[in-house]
Chain A
Amino acid sequence: MKRSITRLLMAPSVIMLLVWMIVPLSMTIYFSTIRYNLLYPGQNNFVGLMNFEFFITDPGFITAVANTLILLLSALIITVVLGVMLSALIDKPFFGRGIVRVLLISPFFIMPTVNALIWKNMMMNPVYGIFAWISQSLGLQPIDWLGTYPLMSVIIMVSWQWLPFAILVFVTALQSQDTEQKEAAQMDGATGWHIFRYLTIPHLARPIAVVVMIETIFLLAVFAEIFVSTGGGPGYASTNLAYLIYNQALLQYDVGVASAGGLFAVLLANIVAFFLIRAVGKNLTV
């Protein structure tokens, strides 16, 4: 009796959440199995797995998957390594620490589109960009970053965007580290490096796992930076899965293939997350 009342009271929110998730998912699954091209309305016949076949055999597919993974892993490594180092660096009190912290966190407040525009036009532009100016003042040939190293440019932008998040998490975690443990290690003859290696890194294992997990979710779906800066090109050089799906749906009007791509992306995200979390969890909890 009592249990059924609790269930009844919980039902609206549970049903709401379920619908919220189920409807888009089932529609995507449905669209992925029919012929659904906006250029040919009304010809929505069932095609089985043909959409998947189209998506997987797309000339950009292999590159897009590879780019997605390269982008994900590079950005993860850069943000976690730099994040741990920078937050350990600003953990000790020094003059102006508050301002330095705010400056380190602030890129996170800038929306991805603006971030990409800043990097594209102010930093990496071969004529007006700061990088070009630096190269020229050193007497070197300016580099056309977006044209020559498109994927790396996107990685730099995305890392700049996500590094503050990692720093934010790690700085908070470091504040909860027990000072008596560090003092005990000091008495035991440990140097700063020993304390960092044997106390701080294990202490950060869980925060690192959290950062990796959350960043994985967002980095698999990077879109705005690519859209604004390189447009996925040149060729497919900086196209990732999200951009490829966009390309199918809105440039080629093929909703069916795009849905199939979306489902593939869900699958890929799960596989990647599974391995990443396991790897992080195993290696760091010493």
Chain B
Amino acid sequence: MSYLVISELQKHYDSYHALRGINLNIKEGEFIVFVGPSGCGKSTLLRTIAGLESSSGGTIELDGKDITEVASSKRDLAMVFQSYALYPHMTVADNLSFALRLAKVPDAEIQEKVRSVSASLQLDPLLDRKPKELSGGQRQRVAIGRAIVRQPKVFLFDEPLSNLDAALRVQMRLELARLHKKLGTTMVYVTHDQIEAMTLADRVVILNAGQIEQVGTPLELYRQPNSRFVAEFIGTPKMNLIPVDNFAVQGDQLSLNLLDSSLSFPANRLAGPLPKAIVMGIRPEHLSLVEENGDFTGRVELVEHLGSEAYAHIQLGNNQTIILKASARSTLQDGDLVHIKVDSSEVILFNESDRVISVIAEEAGND
């Protein structure tokens, strides 16, 4: 049963088409992350859900009720802003209780709610302080607390961690994940950071140029990207993309010629018509070093040691560089000549319009 249903949502600014027909069903209790490059419309989408931007077309339904035209104050949503947007002239306690006081909730109940929220977010010693006397992480917690205290139907987060330093960001990410487990409330979260998207989300929505590129669990997106955009966007370092010079289907083999070697895959047929061109995608961890008989040969340009692992940037012929994940104890040196083996079961192929090519590999005799 879908809880928050967005259908055919459009948003036009004067001359700019920010959202081009968004369709999305969000289940109750889900943690949904909108991710995409800047300008892709993810914040606009969130703000339209919040009611801070009016939609130019389409509908938004929450819990079976059409809220497209409802004022944001009546939508029963809470939002955490990038700048936290705490009320600077009020103490932390007043910030937390502001919405409840406006709603004329009885004093005793307000105090009870504020106390329980401040206890769960460790805000107790800060209740009498003003926002400017708090550190970034504390402000962040107050902003989250202000959202929680109202017990809204959906939490909206607009890049809430982007103003924090790296260490604090990791910590707050964990706290958010914990909070979602505890509250079980639906959360919609906007970020440009794919690590936040991967670690927090039940499902990730990848947006590009005002449209949804793909929706799926983090692992689905990582393993089965629909398009070259998703494949490149998810994963650090990026997926290696190598243009294929030419290809042929011979019996149950699809063979690709690229650079100075050829690869073949067990594939009876391609789903859909034959593509005009193919780009091969392979993630750094699906390449391995071999003594001989590798698929490619290249020269190590640079090795990045990250402690737990190392990434080797390898220059193949034709000015093509690929990244390979090596073990931490790798003794690779700049300038080494290496042989690389491709794990062909992990290869992803894209056609000329950057969509993924589904290769149907049927077992022999099945047909």
Contacts and interface: CB of A to CB of B under 8 A. Distances in A.
Contact of B99 (A178, A181, A188, A285): A188
Secondary structure of the B contact surface, majority rule: loop
Residue from B52, B77, B87, B102 having most chain A Cβ neighbours under 10 A? B87
Contact of B73 (A180, A188, A285): A188
A178 B90 CA distance: 15
A185 B52 contact: no
B88 interface: yes
- Most B Cβ at <10 Å: residue of A181, A184, A194, A198: A184
Contacts of A187: 50, 52, 72-73, 77-79
A202 B79 CA distance: 23
B83 interface: yes
A185 B83 contact: no
A96 interface: no
B276 interface: no
Interface in B30-53: 50, 52
Contact of B85 (A181, A191, A194, A286): A181
A188 B150 CA distance: 8
Interface in B70-104: 71-74, 77-79, 81-83, 85-90, 98-99, 102-103
Interface in A156-185: 178, 180-181, 183-185
B88 A181 contact: yes
A184 B73 contact: no
Interface string A23-62: 0000000000000000000000000000000000000000
A199 interface: yes
Contacts of B102: 188-190, 194
Contacts of A202: 88-89
Contact of A180 (B78, B81, B103, B150): B81
A184 B147 CA distance: 10
Contacts of A120: none
Interface on chain A toward B: helix, strand, loop, or mixed SS?
helix
Interface string B307-346: 0000000000000000000000000000000000000000
Interface residues of A, number: 20
A273 B50 CA distance: 47
Contacts of A181: 85-88
Interface string A191-209: 1001000110011010000
Contact of B89 (A189, A190, A191, A203): A203
Contacts of B50: 183, 187
Given A189-B102, A190-B102, A191-B73, A184 B89 contact: no
Q: How large is the interface on B (under 10, 10 to 19, 20 to 34, 35 or more residues)?
A: 20 to 34
A189 B52 contact: no
B73 A190 contact: yes
Given A178-B83, A190-B73, A191-B73, A185 B89 contact: no
Given A178-B83, A198-B98, A183 B89 contact: no
A186 interface: yes
A198 to B, nearest CB: 7
Contacts of B78: 187-188
A198 B87 contact: yes
B21 to A, nearest CB: 25
Given A191-B73, A198-B98, A185 B87 contact: yes
Contact of B52 (A186, A188, A190, A199): A186
B360 to A, nearest CB: 49
Contacts of A194: 102
A180 B43 CA distance: 13
A183 B98 contact: no
B83 A180 contact: yes
Nearest to A190: B102
Contacts of A203: 88-89
Contacts of A188: 73, 78, 98-99, 102, 146, 150
B88 to A, nearest CB: 7
A187 B50 CA distance: 8
B131 to A, nearest CB: 10
Interface in B268-283: none
Contacts of B103: 189
A180 B89 contact: no
19 contacts: A181-B85, A181-B87, A183-B52, A183-B81, A184-B79, A184-B86, A185-B87, A185-B98, A186-B71, A187-B50, A187-B52, A187-B73, A187-B79, A188-B78, A188-B98, A190-B102, A191-B73, A194-B102, A198-B89
Given A181-B85, A181-B87, A183-B72, 7 more contacts: A180-B81, A183-B52, A184-B79, A187-B79, A188-B73, A190-B98, A205-B89
By Cβ-Cβ distance, the 6 closest A-B pairs, closest first, are A188-B99, A202-B89, A180-B85, A184-B85, A189-B73, A180-B81
